[in-house]
Amino acid sequence: MHATIKFFYKRNIIEFVMQSSDYMKTTVPVKPPEQVRDELKQYLEDIDVQIVKEFDEEEFWGFWVKFGDFPIMVENKKGTRYCAVAFQITLPDGPQVKKLNDFYARKDVHFNYELTCAFTSPLTGYSRIIENGQVVGFTISRYIYPFYNDFSVKDLDRAIQAVVSVGSVGISFINMTLSEAVVSPLAPEKRK
């Protein structure tokens, strides 16, 4: 099997022929989910993070942990080779949710810029939590790859610290912007 790739360079067509070979057919060895779960559990204990709840559902398995005062979720969608380390922040029902959504409705570019700065970093991303068409919170996340042999306790520790650090800044921004809001992290028992 081969593929031909053509591109222009200084008005000349250069052609490359790529052929597959046996070395391209090899796969990277991965650990089985049971081993990954056991190692993550040990790593969480090693970095002195309290496991609040362990879960194994139809599509997902993972842990709710407590890092300082913050609940963090480490979750794997079964069949994938990564886990999400997530910090969910929710607003209380009421005027704070309305005020937040008013910023979105006005397409306030200054607010969106400041929000993006508060909720992102080179190490994390964020998404909005939407219920009934309203933004009610945010999730800060970072992916980790514990199924691969080069994963270590340091990778897990960095991911947890990254989402908590960015989440703390995000909470401060939301509290400052919405003034009367008292934002709280989403507790494990409120997970749907």
Fold adopted by 28-190: Yope Regulator; Chain: A, (3.30.1460)
181: nearest Cα among 100, 65, 77, 123 = 100
Q: Quick check: 70 pLDDT over 60?
A: yes
Taking the CB of residue 169, how many other CB atoms lie within 10 A of it?
16
Would you place residue 182 in the very low, low, confident or very high pLDDT band (cuts 50, 70, 90)? low
Q: What percent of the chain has pLDDT over 70?
A: 80
Given a cut of 60, whether residue 32 has pLDDT beyond it is yes
Residue 40 has a pLDDT of: 98
How crowded is residue 68: how many other Cβ atoms within 10 Å of its Cβ? 10
- Per-residue confidence band for 94, with pLDDT thresholds at 50, 70 and 90: confident
pLDDT at 165 over 90: yes
- Give pLDDT tens digits for 33-68: 999 999 999 999 999 999 999 999 999 999 999 999
Mean pLDDT calculated for residue range 20-36: 77
Contact 143, 83 (CB under 8 A): yes
**97-155: pLDDT as tens digits:** 999 999 999 999 999 999 999 999 999 999 999 999 999 999 999 999 999 999 999 99
CA 145, 147, 148, 149 dihedral sign is positive
**Contacts with 80 (C-beta within 8 Å, 6 or more apart), sequence order:** none
Name the least confident of 19-23, 27-31, 103-107: 19-23
| Residue 179: pLDDT over 80 | no
Query: d(Cα 108, Cα 156) in Å, to the nearest integer?
Result: 36
Q: What is the DSSP letter of 30?
A: B
